Chains A and B, each alone.
Chain A
Amino acid sequence: MSEQYNPRILGFLCNWCCYAAADAAGVSRFQYPPNLRTIRVMCTGRVDPAFIFRGFIEGADGIFTGG
């Protein structure tokens, strides 16, 4: 059996929408893959493109921004 690809994904979540939605997903017990590590920001407008580059440098296989 081939090894499953397990990407490490870094997420920037807006406090008001995506972070709240992620909470709601939890309350509703929706199950999703555990590959995401999140950073809460007050708005995705806070996300400097440099954060994204740094995320890749630090080994992220993908970057998710939810806002």
Chain B
Amino acid sequence: MLTNADFLSLEGKPGDFTAKVRLRPRYIDADSCTACGLCTQYCPRHHVDDYNEGLSLTRPIHIDYAQAVPATYYIDPESCLHLQHDTCQICVPVCQSHAINFDQKPEELDLKVGAVILSPGFGKISEETLEKYGYNRHPDIVTSIEFERMTTASGPFMGEVKCFSDGRHPKRLAFIQCVGSRDLGCNNGYCSSVCCMYSIKEALVAKEHDPEVDITIYYMDIRTQGKEFDKARERAEAIGIKFVRARVADVTPWENRLQLTYSTLDGKHYFEPYDMVVLSVGLESPRDARGIAEKTGIDLNRYDFCETSTFAPLTTSRDGVIVAGAFQGPKDIPESVTQASAAAGIAAGMLTKQRGQGIVHKSYPEEQPMDEEVRIGVFVCHCGINISSVVDVHNVEESTEDMEGVVYHTDSLYSCSQDAQEVLKDKIKEHNLNRVVIAACSPRTHEPLFQETLKDAGLNRSLIEMVNIRDQCSWVHANEPEAATDKSRDLVRMAVAKARGMKPLPEQTVPVTPRAMVVGGGIAGMTAALSIADQGFETLLLEKGKTLGGNLGLLNHTLAGDETAKELKKLVARVQKNKKISVATEAELTAISGFIGNYASVISTGSGKKKTEQTYDHGTVVLATGGHEHRPGGYLLDKNSKVMTQMELEKRLAGKAKNRAPSSVVMIQCAGSRGDDLNYCSKVCCNHAVKNALQIKEINPDSQVIVLYRDMRTYGYAEDAYREARLKGVVFIPYEIANKPEVYEKGKTLHVKFFDSIMQEDMDLTPDLVALSVGIVPEGTEELSKLLKAPLTNDRFFLEAHVKLRPVELPVDGVYVCGLAHGPKPLDETIAQAQAAAAKAAIPLVKGFVSVAPIVSIVDEEQCIGCSLCASLCPYGAIEMIKVDKKRKARTIAASCKACGICASHCPTFAITMGGFTNEQINSQISAFGDVGEKETAEVS
């Protein structure tokens, strides 16, 4: 990982690039820095804290935020006294680990790489654009990013929202949407896609801080098209956050407040006073987009984002250069994470020949057999002065002297330093230690380091226990040294008690069957299968129907103009030609057993008498079962031939009939969606309507097209098409769910009755055709959910393992999801998601084995009564019930176990134990907690 680095140039070809990179000096030796933060406390100079949007001050020597990776401080040369004026250097003697190094110079590196992934993120909307809304004219007009820092508990104000002007808590708060988005005035014709959702989140957080605060969001369309996003809006409305469809003309300072001028749909103007105004800024292309494009030789689109296409959403114009994240187009976290996985998978597919080259395997001495005798060594760390300035380290160390099992104890300045590791190894040998307790910092950051040292010393890595006397003691009780020392002694005593019960735990690995199965032969399934095959693995592609293609076969063209039939044909040909893919049509998954790396599936193919069943062994599975159009009731669909869905309209428009684009069309958005029959937004229908409206105008420019909508959700670049449709005369009229358009027949005439919110009157039209933008419902998810024990959302889509951070994985290990079965989404997103699912599914196949953490659960078959309570409670499906001598017994599927211990805590016969967290160990910790007799006696005397 190279941080503080600039990318300079890229030469060569895929598989053999040379990337030139310049490393800027950080003036701190990253290997020595322990991130203690002492340097920042002593540095005399102020520095505007860019990470906190300039809302607070830090020092030139600092770390951006507590969780920054790498956890290494750096010096900003712009404001450092030494680097600017050759003075100061106070930090040098302050740093106990001698990490400050002013001699560092910029360094240029030539990196040999096979592929390049561009993920520079997004840029900021210019201040000039913000100033149109009064920014810089009044301190209480802030951007949403500043507001985000303000509401963050770990931010500069610890979550307290206050006006910059006089420090009062705002009682009235306004959000203005689309600042720097959907605005040709700043050449950002696109919709930034994320601002509606984050504004709702920020409003909810502000309301959480102060339930009395009055919040209004001024918007054009609320674009919460993401999976389950509409629920956040409903929640916001339920707690009193107001949404006003209006354009804000101006924000003006008014006495000590701000006055908002806005106009609503009916053409009326209003003025409202607010204490604070938040500008919901859009996502701009990255600041150096053109520089990046020049250095890498990629094309940019009209908005200076990376140019890609619908069917290859992450492929740039230069071979071997892949894009991911907001540089490809504005997007939120789940989609960025999805694209990142997809990009990694594409790169891995390009580099199958180079895979495994240049890897050096580390070897360890053989593990020493364990003595019966418990021999514990306790090492207490000063962490420079981080611990020892508060906690009396020697006192803590001495307190272990008489503890049962402790044969050695010492202290060290930095236990994590290289030389301390050597000392640790020596002491293990010298004193024949077989258990180690380290009282220092957090096991979350440092346990792997010490485990490594134990392995080097010939001890099993499970024989270490860490005591956190820094992060959870000296740092948080800085003004109470005695109490902190007391606490440290207690924690060390508890750790020693636990350590007495530590046992070497076996390192397990489970071999993986290097094959994958993909369920569903639509665009998602085919893309996933190809992607896995590209990475070198056999894949079975199951399709329920007679042919591959799914919904793609029902479309004619995309909004970007691709001909779908042509693309589909190409894709099917690639799948059929690929030797690593076997396709099974008219196939169904009837049973699946096993776990990550080792699944066995029963597949039935054919129908009637020709039906056959076969078993397929595979390591991972990708679910791409897709979905189909929902056919809502109440709109005369399937009752009147003039009422059709957008899909049917698209087919008709692609035909040859003369009257295929009739002279008057009414489109109804959200027909059956968003609280109608279905509870959710299907994400694609607005684009579909705009696409068809443009097509009608293309064929018959005189046709009158009216689109009745609730929020036009043409997010991203589709906003351009929406604008084009309006320019071409398509009329868009919003309606409310409480006052839905009514489709009815009078005699033979088809009527649409609705309330025109612009003209403020009821309308009754008799169009030649009514097109319904219907939603999407998932297919096959309920059956598969039962087979795989994989949870669904209330709307019957698969529920991902983590909505934001693991968006294509299911909670069941080795099972991945993409396409409409995950949630409604357009083609490009489906393709990227399929590539991401394939990338994830290939990881265990590439590795060839699944590593099992030694801390998984173990069932004692003797004690197990086969009640299967554990199996029913396990959230990961990691316990199976087996027959042993005709008796039911539980058994842990080690490869699936996440070591949560729910099974162990519920087992009525204590038959289940957790590695490293046994009942005995935890009980002895609790007993040691209570073992304060000595101390209290001392206090009395």
Contact = CB atoms under 8 A, between A and B. Distances in A.
The A interface, classified by DSSP as helix, strand, loop or mixed, is mixed
Interface string A36-66: 1111111101111101001101111000000
A32 interface: yes
A37 B468 contact: no
Contact of A34 (B154, B442, B445, B486): B486
A10 B479 CA distance: 22
B67 interface: yes
Contacts of A51: 922-923, 926
B879 to A, nearest CB: 13
B905 A58 contact: no
Interface in B908-934: 914, 917, 919, 922-923, 925-927, 929-932
The B interface, classified by DSSP as helix, strand, loop or mixed, is helix
B416 to A, nearest CB: 15
Contacts of B442: 19, 23, 26
Nearest to B853: A42
B491 A37 contact: yes
B905 A37 contact: no
A49 B905 CA distance: 8
B923 A37 contact: no
Given A34-B477, A46-B900, A23 B444 contact: yes
Contacts of A25: 471-472, 476
Residue of A20, A26, A30, A38 contacting most chain B CB atoms (<10 Å): A26
Interface residues of B, number: 45
Given A23-B444, A38-B491, A58 B470 contact: no
Contacts of A40: 443
B901 A20 contact: no
A50 to B, nearest CB: 8
Nearest to B916: A42
A48 B900 CA distance: 12
B929 A27 contact: no
B532 interface: no
Contacts of A55: 926, 929-930
A13 to B, nearest CB: 9
Nearest to A15: B444
A30 B476 contact: yes
Contacts of B584: none
B54 to A, nearest CB: 20
Interface string B893-906: 00000111110110
Given A31-B476, A39-B494, A46-B917, A23 B471 contact: yes
Contacts of B66: 24, 27-28
A37 B930 CA distance: 10
A29 B476 contact: yes
A6 B443 CA distance: 28
Given A23-B444, A37-B494, A59 B486 contact: no
A54 B478 contact: no
Contact of A38 (B472, B478, B486, B902): B472
B480 A39 contact: no
B855 interface: yes
A51 B925 CA distance: 10
B919 A48 contact: yes
Contact of B932 (A24, A43, A46, A59): A59
A39 to B, nearest CB: 5
A39 B926 CA distance: 8
Nearest to B470: A26
A59 to B, nearest CB: 5
B490 interface: yes
A37 B483 CA distance: 12
A23 B470 CA distance: 9
Contacts of A36: 487
B67 A24 contact: yes
A33 to B, nearest CB: 8
B478 A31 contact: yes
B164 interface: no
A65 B487 CA distance: 18
Given A10-B926, A48-B905, A51-B926, A42 B900 contact: yes
Given A41-B917, A54-B923, A23 B930 contact: no
B475 interface: yes
Residue of A27, A30, A49 contacting most chain B CB atoms (<10 Å): A27
A54 B927 CA distance: 8
Residue of B899, B900, B923 contacting most chain A CB atoms (<10 Å): B900
Nearest to B35: A27
B19 interface: no
B326 interface: no
Contacts of A59: 930, 932
A27 B475 contact: yes
A26 B472 contact: yes
B930 A58 contact: yes
A9 B652 CA distance: 72
B73 to A, nearest CB: 13
Interface in B461-489: 468, 470-473, 475-480, 483-484, 486-487
Contact of A31 (B444, B445, B479): B479
A23 B922 contact: no
11 contacts: A19-B444, A22-B471, A23-B442, A26-B476, A28-B66, A32-B476, A34-B476, A34-B487, A39-B925, A49-B905, A54-B923
Instruction: Report the 8 A-B pairs with minimum CB-CB distance, sorted nearest first.
Output: A58-B930, A46-B901, A26-B471, A43-B900, A45-B902, A27-B66, A26-B475, A34-B483
Given A19-B442, A34-B483, A42-B855, 15 more contacts: A23-B445, A23-B471, A26-B476, A34-B473, A37-B929, A39-B494, A39-B922, A43-B902, A45-B905, A46-B905, A51-B922, A51-B923, A55-B930, A57-B930, A59-B930
